[in-house]
Amino acid sequence: MRIDAVVINASPLITLFRSGQGGLLPSLFKHIVVPEAVWREVVVQGQGDRAARELSEQSWPVRADVVSSPRVAAWDLGAGETAVLSHALANPPLRAVIDDMDARRCARTLGIPMLGTGGLLVLAKRRGLLTSVGDGIEKLRNSGLWLSDDIVRILKTQAGE
């Protein structure tokens, strides 16, 4: 099933924009939801940061006020993670884009489909938007995203590298 719509958390947005790969998002997806809690975290609290500047200049984010799901709120995650997972839970066609380990555990438990930032790069390569996942991962790491060597190997294997 083709992934065309996502709801995205702050960490993927920040590291994609800081690494110069933010342009992949509108090339990958037709519909990209950024909950208000995530928007505040990236644009307002990150004022002056490259990610804040670049995200605020984009026309593609669909900003959304999100009502927290009690099922997600019970996990006591951050405001952004709670908003992303609550919105994905209420709108099943959406895939959550999150990196936080506890949020990913919550998503698995609640049956919310998800991708991580590294998974976005694999998807981009499969769709012909990237020639090397390894290069993209290196850019993400240099921009602050922590990925274990094991995860990097898995991502490269998924991408056929």
For 56, residues 6+ apart whose C-beta sits below 8 A from its C-beta are: 43
pLDDT tens figures, 100-152: 999 999 999 999 999 999 999 999 999 999 999 999 999 999 998 999 999 99
Residue 20 amino acid letter: G
Mention every residue, 6+ apart, whose C-beta is less than 8 A from residue 42: 10, 13, 14, 34, 51, 52, 55
Give the tens place of pLDDT for each residue, 36-59: 999 999 998 888 889 999 999 999
Region 5-117: CATH code:
3.40.50.1010
Percent of the chain at pLDDT > 70 equals 99
Across all residues in the chain, what is the average pLDDT?
Answer: 95
Extents of the domains making up the chain: 5-117
One-letter amino acid identity for 56?
A: S
Residue 14 has pLDDT above 80, yes or no: yes
Whether this prediction's pTM lies above 0.85 is answered by yes
User: Binning pLDDT at 50, 70 and 90, where does residue 29 land?
Assistant: very high
Quick one: tokens of 50? Answer: 């490259």
